[in-house]
Each structure stands twice: as C-alpha cells, then as structure tokens.
Amino acid sequence: MANVELDAEFLALPLDAVRSAVLDRARALGCEHAEARIERIRSQVVSLRDGRLETSADDLELGVGLRVVHEGSFGFAATVELDADAAAALADQAVATARATAPAVGERVELADEPSHGGAVWTSSYDLDPAGVPTAEKVALLEEWSGRLLGSPGVDHVTAYVLAVVEDKHYADLSGTVTTQRRVRVHPVVEATAVDAEAGGFETMRSLAPPAGRGWEYLLGEGWDWDGELARMPGYLAEKVHAPSVAPGAYDLVIDPTNLWLTIHESIGHATELDRAMGYEAAYAGTSFATFDKLGTLAYGSEVMNVTGDRTVDHGLATVAYDDEGVEAQSFDLIRDGVLVGYQLDRRIARLMGLGRSNGCAFADSPGHTPIQRMANVSLRPAPGDGPSTEELISSVDDGFYVVGDKSWSIDMQRYNFQFTGQRFFRIEKGKLAGQVRDLAYQSRTTEFWGAMQAVGGESTYRLGGAFNCGKGQPGQVAPVSHGCPAALFRGINVLNTREESGR
C-alpha cells in the first residue's frame, strides 16, 4: 500500500494547546488518570435505487472527550469547542461527574498498568481517501454497477450503496502517551431483486464483498473482484427463484467465510467480552454463557477450533495501533484447541479480574462518548500450511449444503441458542454441488455447533468479513469490526425451513 500521511487539515487544529490545557488541569485537580481524545469523524453515504440517486449524505463530527479517574471513580465530559479554555473546563466537569457518581460505585476504579508509549503516529492501510472522491464519481460508479444488473433478464430492481468513514484521532494521557491515528473504512453493497408478481413474492441476491479497512481503491478492484461478482449475481438470482424449498433435518454443512464470520461475531465475539460475561451488559445487550469461572476449562468447540482477538491485522475494521486507553494493539488467544483460554479486556476489567495487562479493547465511537470495552478482530484460524480447499471440504460431504453469504440471524441473550440464514445455499450430494435450495436456516447451540466442526480449510480459503455497526452500551455506541475465517465443515447440524417456520 502507499505510504499515506496524516491529514494536514486535522494536524492544523490546535491539538497541542487543547491537549495540554485539559491534561494540565486534570493533573492539578488530582486525577489518578486522565485521557483526552480530539476526534474528527467524517461519515459519507451514497445510495441508488434502480440506478437513480436516492440518498447522499456527508456528516462531520468534531470534538474533544475527556475521561478521568478521580478518587476511585470515573468521570467524563465532552465539548465541540476546540480551544484551551473550553478544554480546561472539561477537567472540572469530568471531576464533578466522578464525585457525583462515586457514592453509587460498588468498587474503586483502578486501571491495569500500561507503559508510556511516548509520541506515535499511525494510519490504516489504504491508497485513496474516499472522502476526497467527488460525489458525482461515486454516483457514476454505482450507476454503472446498477446498469449491468438491470440489463440482465430476471432482475427487476437493484439497490447499490457505499458507506465510507474517515476517522482522525489525537489521544493523550497523563502517562505521557500521545498518539495520532487515521482509520479509513468502506462498505460497498449491491443487491438485486427478482419479483414474482403472480405469487406475490420476491427473491434477492446481495454482493458478498465485506466491509474493509481500505480506501476507494477497494471499489476499483483492489481486494475484490467486482466485475466477476456482478457478472455472477444475475445467474445465481435466477437459479434461486426456481430452486426447491429445503427439507428440514440434520445435515452436514460446509460454511463459507462470507457466512461464517457473522456466526463468529455473535457466538464467540460477544460471548468472550469479559464485561458482558461479568454481567455489565445484562440490562441492555445480555450476558454470556462463557462465564469467568469457565476460563481454561470450557470446551467451546472441537480440537480444530483456534480463535484469536487481533487489533493488528491489515485491513481489519477494528485494527488500530493504540486503543482509546493508550494500550498498544495486540494479538491474543481466546480459544485454543477448542478450549476457552482468554477474553477481550479493557484496563479496568483486566485489573479488576487480576488478568494483568489489557489487550487493547477500549473504544469510543465519538468524542462525545466515553470509551467502553469493544470487540477486536475476532477470527477463526485456518488449518496451517496447505490445509484443505473448499472443494475438498465439499467432497467429504455425502448429504448436506454449502452455505454462502450472510443474511438474517437470531441469538439469545447469553450468546448460546441461535439460528442463521444466508444469501445462497447449494445442495451437496455425494461430494458434489447439486444446485441451489431456498428457505434454509441452520440452528444450534454455541458449544454444540463449534463442537461439530470437524475440519477447517487452509489458508487459501481464509477471508475477512465484518460489519460497521456492532452495537453495545448505554447510551448506545457502534463499532466496526472484522472477523477472519476459513471455510469449515460441520457435521449433523439442524437445518430449518424458514418458510414453514414462519407459517407461510
């Protein structure tokens, strides 16, 4: 990738003056810890319906957030004013909040140690800043994509859109860490619809390209074969329209990374957030069956299951150099040989549970929000070396399905009982693909599902999936996160017919 520099307009902001004023005042007020974030977040969306512009938005958020620990209690304050006086006033506000909430705190807030990293700069891996691409150019590309699909037989409607976020962040804390980081991410999507006017129904086929920590070059073919994808979509949609409805039962499944990433997100990613496992999210997003007393003993899955949390992988949506508590990005084990061996941590939870250093999982989605524990890039590791290809996994199935692409999903509040659907499902008969079926969902319990994973594909099958909008916290925050995985083979998974389940 090109050596992309930090944005000159962001660097021209009074970063040093604001940072110094707020931290000097926090130090004078006796804060045990203080961290300031000056952030500029630009979010853009362009959306077309049937080749015509439907929505275009370009939002800019700029502000300063300060979190302190004062007399064993957290305090937070934020402002959109970027000057030294307003910044210094934040410290007084944050300390006042800490004092007000102290009586309700059950235990004293202490943070895991983290060394000072001095001054550091970092940018994510991208070539073309999507915020600098003219709207007309974006619309023209989506129009051209839409036209290709609308010109194909059987395609009645097309939706095409792209979301892009450029995040500039200047962080400093009382330990002396000062970081400036730029993170760029894009999410292009194309969906074709076929309408059955007589039956009153419809079918859809969506592109499989995941959101990625890349720039506009992603839409021009770097990192994804858009020409190939757009050429294949009408044929897959036409076949889906005429495909038979699935017969429910127990089947072997080969699940493609374009689908399996979401199952990882919901049944592993959220379940191994230690704040959730300790009950801190119970009132809003639920808890986790993978409670702390099971660390080191819980059989999460089969012996071929190895899962890492990673803040360092190229093009990952959760990839950074330092998190929002000044912790250096790391890669760490969550599940090893099928056994739960770790959790995702921020500094408070790491210290509270005696786990040593944080693994860098604190993030705030806005300068106006306080950092909370958020998900790293949680990924299922492939078989080492020349592991099996997707075709080899399929060849080992006598009676089953190959599942491709994500769609709807459901999981309980403990991340245990779930079901997932997909974009397309291919019947496997005696090791060969035998056409699509419709209306398929797979249903299981987390440990039963991952325990039924007999084989994972090799490195050639490994892909990053992910989402821009993982939700958590009160007030709610969204965070981008990627999940890498290979194709994988599961034995004897319960398959539902969604049409029958819905009573249609």
Give the amino acid at 151: G
CA distance 133 to 139: 10
* Across 263-289, average pLDDT: 96
Q: pLDDT by residue (tens digit) across 293-307?
A: 999 999 999 999 999
pTM of the model: 0.97
Q: Residue 4 above 80 pLDDT?
A: no
Task: Please check the confidence at residue 105 and state whether its pLDDT lies above 90.
Answer: no
pLDDT in tens, 18-74: 999 999 999 999 999 999 999 999 999 999 999 999 999 999 999 999 999 999 999
Flag whether pLDDT at 450 surpasses 80.
yes
Express each pLDDT in 335-367 by its tens digit. 999 999 999 999 999 999 999 999 999 999 999
Q: Does residue 504 carry a pLDDT above 80? A: no
Strand segments, DSSP code E, in 347-452 are 362-363, 372-373, 377-380, 399-404, 409-411, 417-420, 424-429, 432-437, 440-445
From 90, 49, 96, select the one nearest 70 (Cα to Cα): 96
- Token pair for 439: 């209306």
Whole-number pLDDT of residue 106: 79
Confidence of residue 78 (pLDDT cuts 50, 70, 90): very high
Whether the per-residue pLDDT at 1 is higher than 60: the answer is no
What are 244's two structure tokens?
A: 């038979």
**Tens digits of residue pLDDT in 314-331:** 999 999 999 999 999 999
Element (H, E) at 3: none
Residue found under tokens 């034995």: 491
Q: Which helix (H) or strand (E) holds 358?
A: none
| Average of per-residue pLDDT values in the chain | 96
Domain ranges of the chain: 8-241, 249-501
Superfamily of domain 8-241: PmbA/TldD superfamily (3.30.2290.10)
